[in-house]
Each structure stands twice: as structure tokens, then as C-alpha cells.
Amino acid sequence: MYKHALKEIKKSKLNTSPFPYLIVKNLIPSNELTKLNKLLPSFKDIDGDDILFQSTSQTKKTVLPSSAIYKKLIKKNIFKKVDEMFKKLKPEIVKKFNSQIKLHVKKKYQKSKLNYHSSFSLMRKGYIKSSHLDRRDHLLHILYYPYSDSKNGGDLHIDKLKKHKKVYDVFPDKKNLITHKKYKVKNNSCLFTLNVPWAYHSVSKYKGNKDRKYFYVVY
């Protein structure tokens, strides 16, 4: 799995506008993807105090590593392999983004220790996310989608500020942004992003009847 992912990452183009990001279309081997999707729970399967709702419409659930559900999942071989793959990929991802890190990150922070964190989320029909910035205390963000109904909305938008600012709002006004690029979120696709202060992205309304499932990984 790791070797396959590394090969796909190395051959994928690093985009530098409007911010540094990378789209990988087939991150893990198809046989491993089948095993993973058979294991992953559905939106209705996970519930309880351990679940974090991340939308006011309650169309997104997140399972954190501290939860009993995540601890149960990580005991399964295929889930653990994905987690270990992302841990192992960290130096290679940093290497892929190295030129942009040197350009956008202050020198005194360039060799800072990077901690690893991962969570698992599910989106159901009706989910939408306006343009936003992710938390600023990470260098690199990863969104890996084992499953999504790509024909029914939920497109990933790479957004661009019409004019750069000294202070960047976490949730900017729509009038200050344009959509730079749209990507249909397909099974086994992965977005890698250098977390610069203008790395705005959004998700159009998801209309699929099947749950979208994804891992959120940060270094």
C-alpha cells in the first residue's frame, strides 16, 4: 500500500496557484480499497457521545482517535494499514512540498517537529461547506476519500481571494472569492494541501444517497 501511494504521489503534479496543493486520483491499490470500504461504517451505524457533529445541519459525523469507535476500527488490519501508511508518508509529503515550504514558511519554522493526527468522517446527503481555512497549527492537511458518489454533487472547490490581505478570515465573504478549480470527489482520491493562510476551499452540496467517507490527516 505504501509503495503504491508513494508512486502515485511522486507522479502527481504539485499545483502552486492559488496555493500549493496536490490531487492524487488513486492513492491505494484497488483490492485494498475494496477491503477498506467493506469495513468502514455508515453514517447511521455510528452514534453516541463519542461522535462529533461538525455541521449545524448534522450531516457530518467525525470519529476522533480517542473514541471507542475509532479504537475498534484501528484494530482492523486494513484500517490500521491506512493509518500507518499516512504516518510513513510524512517525510515524502514534506519533500514533495519542500520548495513551497521554503517559499511560504519562515525559515525558523521549516524544521519544526511535525506531529501526526488522523480522524475519520462521514457526510450524508445535504452536507455543504462554505469556503474556509483549516486550523493554522498544522503544516500540511490531507483529505483522503475512500468512497463518494462523485456524480451527485459534493464537488471540492479550490478557492482564490480576489485580493490578498494582511489578515485572512477563517470564513471569508463570498464577494471576496472566486472559484479557481472544481474537482469531483471520486473514490480513492486524495487532496494534499500546504496550510498557508490563503488556502481557501469549500464543498458544494452533496446530493448522493450513499454516505461520503473520508480520512482527515494533518502533519
Residues 139 and 114: their CA atoms lie apart, in Å, by: 8
**pLDDT at residue 55 tops 70:** no
Q: Mean pLDDT score of the chain, rounded to an integer?
A: 94
**pLDDT at residue 50 tops 80:** no
pLDDT at 163: 87
Quote the pTM value.
0.94
How many secondary structure helices (H) and strands (E) does the chain include? 5, 12
User: How sure is the predictor about 74, in pLDDT bands with cuts at 50, 70 and 90?
Assistant: very high
Give residue 96's identity as a one-letter amino acid code. K
pLDDT at 165: 80
Backbone angles phi, psi at 113, to 5 degrees: -65, 135
Torsional sign, CA 147, 36, 52, 211: positive
**pLDDT at residue 128 tops 90:** yes
Residues 78 and 32: their CA atoms lie apart, in Å, by: 7
| Residue listed under C-alpha cell 490578498 | 164
Question: Residue 77's CB: how many other CB atoms inside 10 A?
Answer: 8
For the chain, how far is it from start to end, CA to CA, in angstroms? Answer: 20
Distances (CA, A) of 212 to 3, 22, 135, 165, 168: 26, 20, 22, 34, 29
